[in-house]
Structure 1
């Protein structure tokens, strides 16, 4: 199983519009072969004061939204990126001012999971 994470720095004041775009998405990815699930994570930058053990908002750190998709295989993800549905899903780009910088795409292979549905993924 593979997890693809798009880390997106959303500019201050554009959070609601960014989230609304995902609430209203066309769900084209949902029918793609090998697609498992999609999650969008809202940033909550926090910092720990180790001396007191307390948490507080970290106002000095840029938070990133994370758009995560889970795939049965990397090849399934690649096929999605080459599909007409992918082109359709990404044709209405958000305005540049919605972002505080470039996004970062990260791909990880799940080698261990405690998810009861998938069980341990470690084959090694």
Structure 2
């Protein structure tokens, strides 16, 4: 059996702006229809320092399913920033990808 694949995008935002970024994810832009997509989780960590962190986690059936999503027209449209207001509250981000070695529970 092929292992599941988790991709996490850790986005640092100015203090108090996490909910504004989360709101942008409420409208689905096609990821839920991507072959091999399992789920999307948005996690908010209100850091004790001068920024908040929003972690966008997607679970995929395989690494190839995730790569397929990143090469799709739906992905390009979801990430196209032309004509949109700049996200001046975003301080930076870091992507992480994991092969899921063990899962327990429902």
Instruction: Give the TM-score band, short-chain normalised.
Output: 0.7 to 0.9
- 1:6 alignment partner, one of 5, 9, 18: 9
Deviation at 1:14, TM superposition (A): 2.6
Give the alignment's TM-score, normalised by structure 2.
0.84
Unaligned runs of 5+ in 1: 46-58, 117-124
Which residues of 2 match residues 1-124 of structure 1 at below 5 A?
Answer: 1-23=4-26, 25-45=27-47, 59-60=48-49, 62-92=51-81, 95-100=86-91, 102-116=92-106
CA distance in 2, matches of 1:84, 1:20: 22
Task: Flag the structure with larger Rg.
Answer: 1
Structure 1 pair 36/84, CA: closer, same or farther in 2 (3 Å)? same
Unaligned runs of 5+ in 2: none
RMSD: 1.8
Which aligned runs of 4 or more in structure 1 are off by greater than 4 angstroms?
none
Give the alignment's TM-score, normalised by structure 1.
0.72
